[in-house]
Structure formats: C-alpha cells, structure tokens
Structure 1
C-alpha cells in the first residue's frame, strides 16, 4: 500500500470505529457507568490473550499435562503442589460462591442469568490460585456489570435464547469429551494415551472448543461488553493451550495423526 494512503486511512478510522459501535449497540447493553468495569474489560482480555501467546511460546500454566512442563529442576523444592482434584476445587469454589451470593446481593428478578463452566496429575498450587482468582474476579465483575445494566435500554436484538442454546451445547459437549478423556486410561493407569471418539478424531482439544462455545453462550445471555471480551480472551488462551497440547502429543506419540488439528476441525 502506498505510504500516501495512510493519512486517508487514519481519517477513516473514526468512521470505522463508529460503525462498529453502531453494530455492537444492536446486540449489547451500553457500557456501564463504571471506570472499574471498563478498565477490567481491557485488562482481563489482554491478560488472557497474553496467556494464550505464552502457551504457544512454551510457558504454560502448570496443570494437567503441563503441571511440570518447565522441568522439575526448575521448580523450587519448596513449591507447593496439590492433586488435580483439590486444585480444581480451589479454582472453582470462590467463583461458585460469588455466583450463589449474587442471588442474595442483587435479587433483581431479571431473567438474564450468568453461567460459569469450565482437566489427571499434580497441579502447582500457585497455578490453582491464579485460576481461582481469575474465575472469581470474572464472575464477580460479570455479576456486577449485569447489576449496573438494570434500567438501561435493552439491546434491540435479544440473544438470550441463542445464548442458552449455545451454553447447553457447550457444557454438554465439554462434559462428553471430558468423559471420553476419563475413559482413555484404566484404573491405576497413569500413562497418557491418544484420546479417541467424539471430535477427538478431528481435534486434540474438543473439550476446549465446547468450553469456548459455553463461554460465548453466557456472553450472549448477558449481552454485556465485559463477558463478550472475556469470552474472546478465553478463546485466545484456549487456542494457545490447544496448540501447545497438540505439540505435546506429537512429541510424545510417533503415531499421532497429522490430520488431527488443535482446536477447529480442518482449520487449526
């Protein structure tokens, strides 16, 4: 593109932004009058996207296959580790309590509901705490954002039913593929195997694909900017995690099929 075209494109940029906002306004509530929520929208999305890039670059959150990805020698001898079961319990419980408390704190009676969903080895305690804080903060901010939207004009296009359908597809698909993962090893067997069945014939992380669908489900239900941006950030992170997982499988199994993608069948 000729250099002299850039000033013209810069003049068009505000027009593009305005047009994009007009489109979004048909689907979303107006941004809430809260500097905190607006700042956290940018911070959360950026942090998740950066975490996804870190996964691609080999710096992993240390749970599941990657709990010891950086090598035992690099972990401090005093670094606390917990079982995956207790790590996930720690990760989810604060967010669950925040969701339960919202029915008492904000008894609005609004039919819009926020859902949260979100896999085998040790888990570094620091990672469990990081995930726990992320879930708790995102849940609390989503609930607070929904509270602030009370009384604001409803978006012209109602996505609640689409959101509920997407969430149900996401959570059912996620559960089914986690069940298939649990069946890949017999009782007492700790070795990893190539999972089979469902969409595992096409992608290595179909549970992440359905998790993303679930996240966008409750973003459509709430029709708020923060949940939408958080869902986009989560999708970027899980795409990076899926890429790293596929790379891990290829390094561990010579017979791993090359046609199996990371997250999107036939695409990525």
Structure 2
C-alpha cells in the first residue's frame, strides 16, 4: 500500500485538531449598584464555579475566541450562550468582534427573554461556537443561582379560555297519548255530524231533489274542505298556514252559502 494512503487519515485528523477553537481569558464579574461584588477567572478544564445573583445584580462575562494551537483570535459564524434549568432551556446570541473578543451582560433587574423560568435549581451556562472553517465547540462555563421566576401576571381575558362545565340538556318528557278508547270516542264525535248528514241525504234525496244541485253542492263541498283543512293542520300544517287557507275557504263558503240560500228560497217560492 502506498505511504500517502496510510498518512491521509492522520493528516485529516491533524487538520481537524488544528482547526479546533478554544476560549481564552474568560472572566466573570458580578456587581450591584456600581459596586463590584465578585470577579473570577474561568478555567474551562476544572470544576464549574457556582455563582449567585440577587434581584438587582448584574453579571458581566468577557472572553476571546481563538484557534486552539495558533492562539489567533477568530470570529465564529455563530456564538451562543445556552441556559438550562429544570428541563427548560434558552439560547442567547453573543456578538463577537473580528479579533474574537466578546462581552455579555446579564442584568437581573431586566433579565433577557432567553433566560428560562427559574426555580431554586441552578442554571447551567454553556458557550456554543460554530464556524464553517473550524470544528464546532461547546464549553461549560459556570452554574448560576438566580431568584426564582415570578408567576406570570394573569391576563384579563384568561377566564374566557378556561374550560367551561359541560352543557346538560333537559328534555321534555314524552308526550302522553290518551287511551285508544278516548281517542276513538272523540273521533266518533267529530265524524258523527257527517254520518248524520249522509244519512239524511240518503233518505231525503228522493224527496228533496235539489240536494245535489250545482247551487247547493259547492257550499257542501266548502264545508267538507274545512274539515279536510283541520285534519291537514293536525297532521302537518302550522297555525299561520291554517289561518291563511281558512280565510280563503271562508270567502268561498260565504259566497257559495249565499248562493245556496238564494236557490233554496227560489225553490220554496216555486221560481225554479
């Protein structure tokens, strides 16, 4: 096997190692009301320091991004601070100069929106670096204890979005149907006048030859139409429709009734 083929993986590994990024001169300062409370040089290889901030304290972080071997300052394409606490996380972009220097301030009086909701559990702070020419890097900076987040203020319309109790419908009890015997009795009473009328017609049609006269039959038919209208109303029609159709039938009944009375008077006087 050719020697260059054997050295190719080693050369690639060396190039990747040479293109790694590191952080130099990382320092954190805590102050309150223009009074410096703490300043500490960060060592990225040892145990993470634990810092604490009060409600009005300000944390200032400064560092420089450089190549791991050459020590030359580098401006990464992406630089972020990652805050993680209790399963919640937030990412804050950090501006880095062309020489690799960066500065970030965390004012607890006005915390950034990237800081996740906090409890008594410390917030782990990491630095994330991304570059097209260098390998991505991640550094654990420190653990930060901050005051617990206050509950969010209640929105005026919050109650409108709460689940409402289920709507319970109260249905009317089923309509009670009268006994069949009572229904049959009243049906017979309704039909009885027509039975009597037909019976009278069958006995008087030979004595009174004018019952089926064109002057009498329209009036009788209008009366039958009224009965049919009431039956239709009971089955399907509404009250407004019954009043409309009844008014039309009323006019027809009045006209045919007047004509029938006139014809009956003429027959009695012998004019017809």
TM-score of Structure 1 vs Structure 2, range by shorter chain: under 0.3
Larger Rg: 2
Report the structure, 1 or 2, having the larger strand content.
2
- Output the TM-score relative to the length of structure 1: 0.22
- Output the TM-score relative to the length of structure 2: 0.22
Higher relative contact order (CA 8 A, sep 6+): 1
